[in-house]
Structure 1
Amino acid sequence: MIPAAPLASGRTADVYALDGDRVLRRYRSGGDVRAEAEVMRHLYAEGYPVPRVHHADGPDLVLERVTGPTLVEALVGGDVGVRSAARLLVDLHARLHALPTVRATDPAIRILHLDLHPENVVLAPAGPVVIDWANAREGPSALDRAMTALILAEVAVDRSLPLSAAAHELLMAYVAEAGPLESVAAAARLRADLGAPDAARLPDAVRLVLAAGAPGDRAGAGNLALPDP
């Protein structure tokens, strides 16, 4: 029996506790979770830290229950420093992009999370676990790193958000750890296609990422086709 109240709610899905070991992630708009489950099962088999998939059907994913604070909660609570958080994000990307893909044979094509930010990293007792693979697909690894920087920048440019300053600091540390970023313009277009929470922030976010350290992608920034604010 599914509890009446969710354990947690995100932008597109609600998470319900089924028991001490399993949760149900249900997408509010319906859909088919088979592709997401396939990626997660593949990564779990390869030893990447994702929740184990117990069942997938329609809009419902039954997953291993992962306990612990999110990386953003640990940052706000002072349990993890900004530099350590940046290194963790870079390491999680590196580990992911080193794994074999599900289908692609081109070595330049890797598995991408495309939503890897501190709210989607749970600091479980056994180590960090990456959650929310709804946007996962295969592509060039540079796109995944640029997307993380862009998501951080979206928060950083909105001074009305409580975590704006912290996001700016983490973005700077992330870029310093990740090195020069590429594919920022492509990441922004994809972010808009995927339904960024506030597309009006994207141009400012792109400019901030480029200023932080993506000189090789400046030419592409002029070709952004983003929604008008």
Structure 2
Amino acid sequence: MIAAGYDCEIFDAGPGRVVRRSRDGRSLEREAAVMRHARRHGFPAPEVHDADGADILMEHVAGPSLLDETARAPGRAAEHGALLAALLRQLSAVRAPGWLRAAAGRPGNRLLHLDLHPGNVLVTADGPRVVDWANAARGAPGVDAACTWLILATAPVAAPSLEDARADLLAAFLDGVDPAAARPHLRAEAARRLAERDLPDDEQAGIARFLAGEAPP
């Protein structure tokens, strides 16, 4: 094993390849199909070689995350926020496959990542790669922007340099998306995030404070 995330582990599978395996044994075949669809439409998702049940055999994406790069060079936070916005704009041009689940109660036909934050963007010599498509759905682009907005504004960070960079990162991101289209979806995205993850008390409190200031009733 070379890495581990919230619900998956990554194993070396030889030169240039890794296996992404779900911790709970759930099938990752839908996630693999989403990545293939995104890549076919020109979006920088990792290449998928094979998928079988709980395993995806995929490209080994080598490079630091955008989160690590921001911690290393907080003066580039605005540049990184603009990159996140550009990736979401690019993704919003991709029509979702008809078989992909719809984001609950929010109609639309665009491909949504629904977890596109600096930790899920890897910086490679060939440009960014967006990983971790477990939450992908079909819906309106404003939903994806709301999800990233919420994470950038409220997710706890380990490095003081990241806390200092947060405002610049978020401001540049919002400059590159449509906040008016995202704002109506903030409460629903907060509810989804709270339901899907066991968030610490301080993050839950941060989400509540954020919603009080940003989200419509």
Under a length normalisation based on structure 1, what TM-score does the superposition of the two structures give? 0.81
Question: For 1:160 and 1:17, how far apart are their aligned partners in 2?
Answer: 27
The runs of 5 or more residues in structure 1 that have no matched partner are 1-5, 220-229
Shift of 1:124: 1.0
**Matched residue type, 1:103:** G
Offset at residue 100 of structure 1 (A)? 1.6
The match for 2:216 is: 218
What do you get for the CA RMSD once the two structures are aligned?
Answer: 2.6
Q: Which amino acid aligns with 2:16?
A: D
1:186 and 2:188 correspond: yes
Matching residue of 2:200 = 198
What is the CA distance between 1:48 and its match in structure 2? 0.8
Conservation of the 8 A alpha-carbon contact between 1:153 and 1:209: no
Cα distance in 2 for partners of 1:198, 1:94 equals: 31
Superposition deviation, residue 142 in structure 1 = 0.9
Counting aligned pairs with the same residue, the percent is: 34
Quote the residue 1:27 is aligned against.
22
Matches within 5 A, 1:68-83: 68-78=63-73, 81-83=76-78
**Which stretch shows the higher mean deviation, 137-146 or 70-79?**
70-79
1:12 lines up with 2:7 in the alignment: yes
Q: In structure 1, what is the equivalent of residue 34 of structure 2?
A: 39
Aligned equivalents of 1:203, 1:57: Cα separation in 2: 40
- How many Å apart are 1:205 and its aligned residue? 2.2
Q: Which moved more, 1:189-198 or 1:117-126?
A: 189-198
Aligned-partner residue type, residue 8 of structure 2: A
TM-score normalised per structure 2: 0.85
TM-superposed CA distance for 1:179, in Å, is 4.0
The match for 1:122 is 122
Q: How far apart are the structure 1 equivalents of 2:208 and 2:174?
A: 13
- Could you tell me which residue of structure 1 aligns to residue 108 of structure 2? 108
Q: Distance in 2 between the 1:207 and 1:63 partners?
A: 39
Distance in 2, Cα, partners of 1:94 & 1:199: 32
1: CA distance, partners of 2:170 / 2:74: 18
**What amino acid does structure 2 have at the position aligned with 1:125?**
A
Note if contact 2:114-2:144 (Cα within 8 Å) is conserved in structure 1.
yes
1:114: Cα distance to partner? 0.7
Q: In structure 2, do the counterparts of structure 1 residues 22 and 159 end up closer, same or farther at CA, with 3 Å as the change threshold? A: closer
Q: Are the counterparts in 2 of residues 192 and 199 from structure 1 also a CA contact under 8 Å? A: no
Distance 1:149 1:209, change over 3 A: farther
Query: Are 1:121 and 1:130, in contact at CA under 8 Å, matched by a contact in 2?
Result: yes
Identify the match of residue 60 of structure 2 among 61, 65, 79.
65
- Answering whether residue 151 of structure 2 is matched by residue 151 of structure 1, we say yes
How many Å separate the matches in 1 of 2:146 and 2:212? 10
Q: Shift of residue 120 of structure 1? A: 0.5
Q: Which residue of 1 aligns with 2:170?
A: 171
Give the partner amino acid of 1:17.
Answer: D
Deviations 1:11-66, CA, capped at 9 Å, x for gaps = 11111111121101111111011111111111111111011111111211111111
RCO (CA 8 Å, sep 6+): is it higher in 1 or 2? 2
CA contact (8 A) 1:150 1:206 kept: no
